[in-house]
Structure 1
């Protein structure tokens, strides 16, 4: 329903607010409303629900109205053919007028219809989870691209700063040369460094444009729509907190696990449908069709005609077709069960990998931040010493390049930490929300109900 879809949207977009970035929140809202993949997934839910309703219609009587009006001529070469009164013997024929109602009702004694509806209901739930998966994947891609955009803008800012430093170094070498302290080699080195920094800036500008276009497409807009809006650089979003460890019960919220679980339930219901085909089928047909040869006779008592039966059919010999169908459904159900297990194992691996990367990022980012600060300090000191004539220009170039590399490495590390946060959120399927960030385990009574217990229950 629309209310269920709105609740799912709210559940999956709420986490992004933890980044405390108003611009990101606006982009998420627009993507949920405009993304075409998400709209396609919503239409697939409606299609499966229509199929479910079609299956459920077999529970009710099927009623049709009919009418017939026409003439018939019969062969005169058939012995003892009944001739209509008043017709010449060489012109056997009849006019026929009829109207009425036909109805049929299948009695679901052995659950064939019930199991068919159940299987289709599970198929509906699968498409609901597929939409959740599309929503989560789309939002993850959107947020990840947004992080890349802000990181690239940060690196572009670093590049502009380094261009200014390189320009100042170039101006300094020229001034010192005019004062008789420097030489043309130092001027050439400074000019080469400036040109190198200018060249390194262009790919960053291109990347900003490409990422902006990708964000527009995810929001269902023409590329370039938000270019002016996103052109203003903003700092990287705040890194959110996660639980120290993740209890396995939270993984039950992953769309792929929920979808695999419902696929298994659907396959099990299909077994019931196949088994029911081996038992008697009961139906009640009813036909009410008054008929006559003339219009004035059609509504007389003598024109009344009806049929009312209780029909039962039992399959006796079909060459092993029905038992083969049962075996096929059982094999499909077993495959779904194994796929469910594999999906759970893959989910645990993805969470463990994402959690390991998340924890390792902390120290890595801190070390790179310290290295960037030390490199900037060394670069400043080298320029001051060069101005005083105490070191050569080569030392200045070396320290500036080291500082640039350290700043870029720190920016990349901060991006990786944010992307690892997105990956961890996606791996846990938002199921960690509501778990205390210091929680280490769940009570045993709850652990027995977790996803592992369900997946590997024999």
Structure 2
């Protein structure tokens, strides 16, 4: 058989393999169509198209709806400096690198080599084959060689394609993971800021009550000197003043701890923003109730999107396992001229090369390959069920947040009226006591009632703000206006390896 015939036959085999390369085994991914309700049960009215469009726009930067410029600045600093967010971005880069590594199997793998040295052969071995130019009385020889080795795997049944597809889905999962980290971080920053302003408000309430208790103590002393009061009333007033002073200290501690937590969320040392945050500001306003639809939740929740991508990845892994049961085709090539002198390396007699078309077919592996397929099928079904469970959990969280938002409106209004009535009753009790018409016990009772009512109102206002944060978070808002990742490799491969400027290894 002539060399030309061999080459044509090899070319025919290669062409046939390339034609078959369009065959990709394993199931094609089909999204799980889960039936969801047309609207939420806690909706006051079905949302219009205009309301849905407005809500979709608001979700991108929902924290602006609270109308607090200081909060907006803190969120921007957290997006730029939070370390958990940066770590999640690096994981995206790592998964992308793995995807590119999987995709490299599509291309020929080429390596260059060279050899230069001396060798000596034993004369004590019977029938040692004489080499050309190396008689028996010369057991040593110089050896020079250079060459190229290459291998190309033909992806006939889509094993590589399925591997790349699965890794691409893994990349998309890490993107959703980063979005989930971003949402959690945003929720933590906004919630901590609300708690900070609420605690500062309660500190103001505490300071006012300390002033009231001080006035009551001064009043009991004055009345005692005028012969109206008694030492019991003085002791009661002093005890109330001390109690109010003691209640203020935990509030100061809590404020310091919250500012430290905000600093860490922004990626800076605790105490960095304490000076600017210690200035008390009013609580932010409660935004309008957003229009909601189930489609918004499905489109925006990173956990739902990640679960769906995980199901797609598991489906692709089935294809990888199935492809292992089919023949594998590869083309190895070796070109290695060798000689004993430099000038001989480039002569025709020094040429040495190999070119094959290799095929391997798995025959008997004790059921290992079929077991791998069954395992991947079970993993894919588990991913599908996990996706469904994630959807149910997400809808429950939205329903719960909507219910809390609606229920807290009337609750907050009632507590506001109770606080106003309690303050009025406390003022009247002090006036009646100074006129000698009621005892000091009535004063203490009304003051404590007023303090409790004011604190309850502050907590209710905080709960309303937290309900808004929880609903926006449950709807999957916040990541839409932020780039997927702003990270980059710290070392440039092009600067590390001169060959990398021409080839991406």
Task: Check conservation: 2:183, 2:477, Cα contact below 8 A.
Answer: no
Task: Check conservation: 1:115, 1:272, Cα contact below 8 A.
Answer: yes
Q: Displacement of 1:87 after TM fit? A: 4.7
Task: Check conservation: 1:372, 1:403, Cα contact below 8 A.
Answer: yes
Higher mean C-alpha deviation, range 285-294 or range 213-222: 285-294
Check 1:11–1:138 CA distance in 2 against 1; reply closer, same or farther (3 A cut).
Answer: farther
Q: Give distance in 1, aligned partners of 2:60 and 2:491.
A: 31
Task: Check conservation: 1:246, 1:440, Cα contact below 8 A.
Answer: no
Q: Secondary structure of the residue that 2:304 maps to in structure 1?
A: helix
Q: Give distance in 1, aligned partners of 2:203 and 2:435.
A: 31
Higher mean C-alpha deviation, range 259-268 or range 291-300: 291-300
Task: Check conservation: 2:146, 2:337, Cα contact below 8 A.
Answer: yes
Q: Displacement of 1:332 after TM fit? A: 0.9
Q: Displacement of 1:355 after TM fit? A: 1.3
| Structure of higher RCO (CA pairs closer than 8 Å, 6+ residues apart) | 2
Task: Check conservation: 1:159, 1:201, Cα contact below 8 A.
Answer: yes
Q: Give distance in 2, aligned partners of 1:232 and 1:338.
A: 50
Check 1:433–1:34 CA distance in 2 against 1; reply closer, same or farther (3 A cut).
Answer: closer
Q: Displacement of 1:77 after TM fit? A: 3.8
2:101: which partner in 1? Answer: 54
Cα deviations by residue, 1:32-58 (Å, 9 ceiling, x for unpaired)? 111111110000000000000001111
Check 1:361–1:334 CA distance in 2 against 1; reply closer, same or farther (3 A cut).
Answer: same
Higher mean C-alpha deviation, range 363-372 or range 345-354: 345-354
Q: Give distance in 2, aligned partners of 1:227 and 1:165.
A: 29
Task: Check conservation: 1:126, 1:262, Cα contact below 8 A.
Answer: yes
Gaps of 5+ in 1: none
In the superposition, the TM-score normalised over structure 2's length comes to 0.81
Higher mean C-alpha deviation, range 277-286 or range 29-38: 277-286
Check 1:172–1:33 CA distance in 2 against 1; reply closer, same or farther (3 A cut).
Answer: same
Q: Displacement of 1:416 after TM fit? A: 1.1
Check 1:30–1:8 CA distance in 2 against 1; reply closer, same or farther (3 A cut).
Answer: farther
Q: Displacement of 1:277 after TM fit? A: 1.0
Q: Displacement of 1:95 after TM fit? A: 2.5
Cα deviations by residue, 1:395-436 (Å, 9 ceiling, x for unpaired)? 111111000000000001111111111111111112999999
Check 1:242–1:61 CA distance in 2 against 1; reply closer, same or farther (3 A cut).
Answer: same
Q: Give distance in 2, aligned partners of 1:193 and 1:52.
A: 68
Q: Displacement of 1:455 after TM fit? A: 46
Q: Displacement of 1:72 after TM fit? A: 2.6
Aligned residue pairs total: 458
Check 1:370–1:454 CA distance in 2 against 1; reply closer, same or farther (3 A cut).
Answer: farther
Task: Check conservation: 2:89, 2:486, Cα contact below 8 A.
Answer: no
Higher mean C-alpha deviation, range 56-65 or range 151-160: 56-65
Check 1:438–1:307 CA distance in 2 against 1; reply closer, same or farther (3 A cut).
Answer: closer
Check 1:391–1:450 CA distance in 2 against 1; reply closer, same or farther (3 A cut).
Answer: farther
Task: Check conservation: 2:217, 2:237, Cα contact below 8 A.
Answer: yes
Check 1:452–1:202 CA distance in 2 against 1; reply closer, same or farther (3 A cut).
Answer: farther
Q: Give distance in 2, aligned partners of 1:301 and 1:83.
A: 21
- Confirm or deny that 1:31 pairs with 2:78: yes
Q: Secondary structure of the residue that 2:269 maps to in structure 1?
A: coil
Check 1:351–1:447 CA distance in 2 against 1; reply closer, same or farther (3 A cut).
Answer: farther
Q: Secondary structure of the residue that 1:444 maps to in structure 2?
A: coil
Task: Check conservation: 2:296, 2:475, Cα contact below 8 A.
Answer: no
Q: Displacement of 1:213 after TM fit? A: 0.6
Q: Give distance in 2, aligned partners of 1:216 and 1:144.
A: 14
Q: Secondary structure of the residue that 1:106 maps to in structure 2?
A: strand
Q: Give distance in 1, aligned partners of 2:503 and 2:446.
A: 58
Check 1:434–1:76 CA distance in 2 against 1; reply closer, same or farther (3 A cut).
Answer: closer
Task: Check conservation: 2:426, 2:443, Cα contact below 8 A.
Answer: yes
Task: Check conservation: 2:263, 2:272, Cα contact below 8 A.
Answer: yes
- Confirm or deny that 1:396 pairs with 2:443: yes
Higher mean C-alpha deviation, range 126-135 or range 166-175: 166-175
Higher mean C-alpha deviation, range 440-449 or range 177-186: 440-449
Check 1:375–1:446 CA distance in 2 against 1; reply closer, same or farther (3 A cut).
Answer: farther
Task: Check conservation: 1:245, 1:439, Cα contact below 8 A.
Answer: no
Q: Displacement of 1:205 after TM fit? A: 0.6
Check 1:412–1:8 CA distance in 2 against 1; reply closer, same or farther (3 A cut).
Answer: closer
Check 1:189–1:30 CA distance in 2 against 1; reply closer, same or farther (3 A cut).
Answer: same
Cα deviations by residue, 1:349-401 (Å, 9 ceiling, x for unpaired)? 11111111111111111110010011011111111111222111111111110
Check 1:115–1:87 CA distance in 2 against 1; reply closer, same or farther (3 A cut).
Answer: closer
Task: Check conservation: 1:267, 1:333, Cα contact below 8 A.
Answer: yes
Higher mean C-alpha deviation, range 280-289 or range 212-221: 280-289
Q: Secondary structure of the residue that 2:149 maps to in structure 1?
A: strand
1:164: which partner in 2? Answer: 211
What is the root-mean-square deviation of aligned Cα atoms in Å?
Answer: 10.6
Q: Displacement of 1:75 after TM fit? A: 3.1
Task: Check conservation: 2:121, 2:140, Cα contact below 8 A.
Answer: yes
Higher mean C-alpha deviation, range 362-371 or range 9-18: 9-18
Q: Displacement of 1:82 after TM fit? A: 2.2
Task: Check conservation: 1:247, 1:441, Cα contact below 8 A.
Answer: no
Q: Displacement of 1:81 after TM fit? A: 2.1
Cα deviations by residue, 1:293-327 (Å, 9 ceiling, x for unpaired)? 22221111111121111111111111211111111
Q: Give distance in 1, aligned partners of 2:201 and 2:408.
A: 19
Q: Give distance in 2, aligned partners of 1:280 and 1:156.
A: 75
Q: Displacement of 1:108 after TM fit? A: 1.0
Cα deviations by residue, 1:106-148 (Å, 9 ceiling, x for unpaired)? 1111111111111000000000000001110011111111111
- Confirm or deny that 1:93 pairs with 2:150: no
- Confirm or deny that 1:292 pairs with 2:336: no
In the superposition, the TM-score normalised over structure 1's length comes to 0.90
2:495: which partner in 1? Answer: 448
Q: Displacement of 1:251 after TM fit? A: 3.2
Q: Displacement of 1:246 after TM fit? A: 3.7
Q: Displacement of 1:236 after TM fit? A: 0.6
